[in-house]
Amino acid sequence: MGASPPFLLVAIDGGAASGKSSTARALAARFPLLHVDTGAHYRAITAEMLRRGVTPGDGPAVESALAGLRLGTRVSGSAAQMEIAGKVPGDEIRAPEVNAAVSHFAALPAVRTALLHYQRSQVEVARAHGFKGLVMEGRDIGSVIFPGADLRFFLHADPVERARRRAQEGQQDSVAERDRLDSSRKTAPLTCPPGAIDIDSTHLNLDQVVARVAAEVAARLPHVP
C-alpha cells in the first residue's frame, strides 16, 4: 500500500456565537475542505433525547438511547451532515428547548465518547469524497478530537457582542449560560488549547476573521488559489 495523500486538518474552537460556523463555512467554500459542525452533532443528539423523553440526569436511559442510535453522514456540497437513522435532522436542532438542554447532554462522558469516535471518522468520509482536508468546528476539536491538527484556531468575542449576534439571528439563546456550563464541565471543557491561534473577533467582521484564517490555510495548501 502506498502512503496516503496529504490531508489538512483544521480545528476551530470557541464559545457560543463566536463566529465558528460562519468562518468554517467560508473556508470550506474557498478551499477543498469538508466542513464538519460538531455543535450540530450535540444538538441533534439532544433533540433526539428530548423527543424520546430522556433527561440528562438519567444515565442508564441516555446510554441505552445512545447504543440504539444509528449515526451516518451525508455529504452535501462541502458540508458533512450527521444522520440519525438515515435522516438529517432539520431546524428543530436550533429550537429554544435544545439551546437550553444541549450543554447538559454535552457534559455527559457517554455522549462525548460516542461523538468522539464519530467525529474522528469524518477524516475517512472526507478522503472518500475527494476532499484535501477538513475543517471541524466545536469546543474540543483542537484539544481532544484532533490535538495533532495541522492548524488550530480559537475564536473569542465579547459576550455582549455574541448575545447581540444571536439575537440578530432571531434566536432565543443564553450564550453566557452555555459558555459557563461548557467551560466548567469535567470532560473536554471549552478552553483555548496551548499553541492554538487565538483570534478576538469582537471588533472584526466575518471577512476579516476569514481572511486571517484563510491566510494560514493557503500557506499549507499552496497549490489551491
Of 12-20, 82-90, 148-156, 214-222, the window that binds ligand CDP (rule: CB under 6 A) is 12-20
In our burial notation (b when 16+ CB lie closer than 10 A, e otherwise), range 139-174 reads bbbbbbbbeebbbbbbbbbebeebbebbeeeeeebb
182 binding ligand CDP? (CB under 6 A):
yes
* Residues forming a β-bridge with 197: 153
Q: Which of 16, 33, 45, 65 touches ligand CDP (CB under 6 A)?
A: 16
C-alpha cell at 198: 487565538
39 binding ligand CDP? (CB under 6 A):
yes
114 binding ligand CDP? (CB under 6 A):
no
Q: How far is the CB of 129 from ligand CDP (least distance, A)?
A: 22
Q: How far is the CB of 38 from ligand CDP (least distance, A)?
A: 4
Residues 138-177 that bind ligand CDP (CB under 6 A): 138-140
- The two beta strands, 133-138 and 8-14, are parallel
DSSP H helices, 31-158, are 38-51, 59-67, 96-106, 109-120, 122-128
Q: Which of 12, 17, 26, 80 touches ligand CDP (CB under 6 A)?
A: 17
Length of the chain measured in residues: 225
Contact present, 119 and 136 (Cβ < 8 Å):
yes
122 binding ligand CDP? (CB under 6 A):
no
Q: How far is the CB of 17 from ligand CDP (least distance, A)?
A: 5
Binding residues for ligand CDP, per CB under 6 A?
A: 16-17, 20-21, 38-39, 42-43, 102-103, 106, 138-140, 178, 182
